[in-house]
Amino acid sequence: MIIPCYNQAHFLTAAVDSVLAQAYTDWECIIVNDGSTDNTESVALAYAEKDRRIKYTRKENGGLSSARNTGLNIAAGKFIQFLDADDVLEPQKFSMQLQSLTVNQQITRILVYCNYVFGTQENIFEKVKREIPVHFTSNNYLQELITGWETDLIIPCHCFLFSSDFFIKDGIRFDETLPNHEDFDCWLRIFSKNPAVIFVDEILCRYRLSNHSMSTNMKLMGEGFLQVLNKHLQEKSYSVEILSLLKRKRLDVLQRYKRFDLMTIIEKFASRKILHQYYSKRIVEKLTVK
């Protein structure tokens, strides 16, 4: 279990408490303080002093990927669970997912994932009704990951439970040069290993919706998404089919985020009464035509 934390001490308690509440108790939790300036350290140390299964380490601020990689360099378990400091797990998360793996004990590269719900920023246990495309619909996992990510497939990192072989034997790490979409980049490399995949159709995670998260900055997110796709288009080990899907996804992302940028411009100028309503309406209609 790896929990990176940067100035989120006010959420960290709920995250760690959800780990302590697990029905399955044979775990190790590594809290990585990514150079926080709040009281993350005191909160984390208090937990580490009470329970020896909880480890604490501090590093200079380097971003989410750097913090997760620090945890991966320390982790010694057979499986890897990621949990952002503002999210939580349901008590049966470990036990149900590990139970689903018992019939596949001889498979080294395996992962299991689950369903989840959204919670509000103020109260993660206050469910937000929102349709979420959470699971793969075929066995072509890498292909579906590429074509459906963020449109037909949205899976937060804490839904997964990964075999540690991906990170120990394969040496996979999060790309610290990416501004965002580091999870998508990492999952592409994991799924390119053709792993065994299991889906537990139970709500075992809660995801906190933030009013000020990076994901609300659509322009920045689009740029990061394209950076990942451009990176993988240079991957020589991919088949012609996979490269074709990556190119198609790149075009889709370009269109989707350009459309968002133009909508933002329309709203900005319309509020200043610079654009006539007629032109705003015509542009919006053109953009929304599929």
pTM for this predicted structure: 0.86
The residue ranges of every structural domain in the chain are 2-232, 240-288
- Report which secondary-structure segment, H or E, holds 48: helix 40-50
- Tell me which amino acid residue 115 is: N
Is residue 249 within 8 A of residue 146, CB to CB? The reply is yes
261 alpha-carbon distance from chain centroid:
24
Of the candidates 62, 54, 59, the one whose C-alpha atom is nearest the C-alpha of residue 31 is: 54
pLDDT given at position 260:
58
Q: Is 166 helix (H, G, I), strand (E, B) or coil?
A: helix
**pLDDT for res 255:** 87
- What does residue 161 show for φ and ψ, rounded to 5 degrees? -130, 120
Contact assessment for residue 134 and residue 116, using Cβ atoms and an 8 Å cutoff: yes
Beta bridge partners of 2: 30, 82
- Produce one character per residue of 185-207: b if its CB has 16 or more CB atoms within 10 Å, e if not: bbbbbbbbbebebbebeebbbbb
pLDDT tens across the length of the chain (290 residues): 999 999 999 999 999 999 999 999 999 999 999 999 999 999 999 999 999 999 999 999 999 999 999 999 999 999 999 999 999 999 999 999 999 987 666 778 999 999 999 999 999 999 888 777 778 999 999 999 999 999 899 999 999 999 999 999 999 999 999 999 999 999 999 999 999 999 999 999 999 998 665 455 778 888 899 999 999 999 999 999 999 999 999 999 988 877 655 444 444 444 444 444 433 444 444 444 44
Give, in words, the CATH class of 2-232.
alpha beta
pLDDT score recorded for residue 217? 73
Q: Return the pLDDT at 155.
A: 95
For position 104, what pLDDT does the model report?
A: 67
Contacts of 285 (CB under 8 A, 6+ apart): none
DSSP 245: H
Amino acid type, 196: A
Give 215's DSSP letter. G
User: Which residues, at least 6 apart from 69, have a Cβ–Cβ distance to it below 8 Å?
Assistant: 173, 174, 176
State the pLDDT at residue 27. 97
State the alpha helices, DSSP H only, in 86-181. Answer: 93-100, 141-148, 165-168
